[in-house]
């Protein structure tokens, strides 16, 4: 599976911060039932690796690791079964190791220099992050013009109100968002939000 296939699977990739691994599987089931199959578990909590293992057991789920910032983390998430890697930025060291592994990779970029570093590694798919504070859709349109081969997943500050505007821009294949899993929401509410998000690309 390529990173482009993963990005085209769902209009929205839920960005998940899991504090308790026992909640991971029901959460994944609700998201997949709602039509969001691609799940990004961020490496921001001690429960993240166990959460990846739990979510991997859900039929139809494509489970990746987000906020991967170094090669040690990359090795650990691969052991846990991550199917794709998302990083908030891009260094040559981390990028080279992931590219050589052949694992689908979505590195974060915020400017032309970041994208050029990605191009040097043979990458053409990027997470535009943090999307809103990096200039929003206007900035991405300006960046996408010279880098016409690049495809993007904007993440950071995207809301249900703004997501359709981002998705309406051709180089944007999907967006990342945390609004589909609000704190305290029931699994039925998560499934309903996922269904709404999954329908955003028509």
CA 200 to chain centre: 16
User: Of the residues 37, 56, 127, 151, which is catalytic?
Assistant: 127
Give one DSSP letter per residue of 18-34, joined into a string: -S-GGGHHHHHHHHHHT
d(Cα 114, Cα 88) in Å, to the nearest integer? 11
Residue 16, H or E segment? strand 12-16
User: Of the residues 29, 40, 83, 191, which is catalytic?
Assistant: 40
Phi, psi of 155 (to 5 degrees): -145, 140
Around Cβ 133, how many Cβ atoms within 10 Å? 11
d(Cα 133, Cα 135) in Å, to the nearest integer? 5
| Three-point CA angle 166, 170, 171, nearest 5° | 85
Asked if 17 and 43 touch (Cβ cutoff 8 Å), the reply is no
Identify the burial level of 152 via C-beta atoms within 10 angstroms of its C-beta, where 0-12 means exposed, 13-18 middle and 19 or more buried. Answer: buried
Is 127 labeled as catalytic in the residue annotation? yes
Is 40 labeled as catalytic in the residue annotation? yes
Active site residues: 40, 127
């Amino acid at each position: 599976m390529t990173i482009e296939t993963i990005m085209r699977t769902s209009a929205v990739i839920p960005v998940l911060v899991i504090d308790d691994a026992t909640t991971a599987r029901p959460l994944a089931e609700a998201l997949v039932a709602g039509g969001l199959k691609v799940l990004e578990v961020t490496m921001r909590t001690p429960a993240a690796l166990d959460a990846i293992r739990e979510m991997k057991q859900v039929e139809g789920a494509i489970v990746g690791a987000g906020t991967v910032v170094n090669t040690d983390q990359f090795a650990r998430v691969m052991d846990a079964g991550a199917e794709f890697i998302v990083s908030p930025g891009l260094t040559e060291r981390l990028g080279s190791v992931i590219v050589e592994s052949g694992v689908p990779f979505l590195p974060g970029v915020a400017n032309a220099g970041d994208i050029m570093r990605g191009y040097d590694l043979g990458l053409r798919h990027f997470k535009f992050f943090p999307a809103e504070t990096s200039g929003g859709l206007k900035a991405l349109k300006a960046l996408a013009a010279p880098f016409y081969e690049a495809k993007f997943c904007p993440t950071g500050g995207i809301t249900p109100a703004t997501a359709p505007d981002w998705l309406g821009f051709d180089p944007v294949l999907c967006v990342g968002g945390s609004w589909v899993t609000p704190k305290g929401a029931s699994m039925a509410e998560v499934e309903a939000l996922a269904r709404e998000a999954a329908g955003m690309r028509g």
